[in-house]
Amino acid sequence: MTELTAAIDLSKEDTPVFLATSEAGGQPHIMYGGTLEQMDPNHVTLEGWLCLITRQNIESNPYVSLVVRDQSGTRGFQLTGAVEDVAELAVLNGYAPAMQEGVLPRTERKLVIRIDKVLDFSRGPHTDEPAK
């Protein structure tokens, strides 16, 4: 089993998946959630309700980091790479009665991400060497 496959398998165990993006100037932003799937040995997809900042960051800077870890924080992976494609799946607009006028609708998107590195990610001491 490859490290990427192990990360995907871990993501299916009801563990959190985080997506870190940054705008062109470097200001970071982290998103929680989404469904992670492996497309091929070097690509994954992430489906989720992306906020406006995440979308804007990806448009100006495609490089991202994904973190998948178990609930205890003792086992996990950081996947680094670049978004190669974005597809809109659904738009939520006006569904919630409490939604204020002028609030932008939430959009469910599917990101295709090329994975360049798979690193260990855990609560304890670790190196930034590729996962083994």
Q: Residue range 13-24: average pLDDT?
A: 90
Q: What is the pLDDT of residue 100?
A: 53
Is residue 9 classed as helix, strand or coil in its secondary structure?
helix
Contact 115, 80 (CB under 8 A): yes
Q: What is the pLDDT of residue 131?
A: 65
What are the domain boundaries of the chain?
Answer: 3-120
Burial of 36 (0-12, 13-18, 19+ CB in 10 A): buried
d(CA 57, CA 62): 7
Which among 100, 98, 96, 116 is positioned nearest to 49, based on CA atoms? 96
Architecture of domain 3-120: Roll (2.30)
Of residues 92 and 14, the one with the higher pLDDT is 14
- Give me the percent of the chain exceeding a pLDDT of 90: 49
d(CA 46, CA 66): 9
pLDDT digit string (tens) for 83-106? 999 887 666 665 555 555 555 556
Q: What is the pLDDT of residue 89?
A: 66
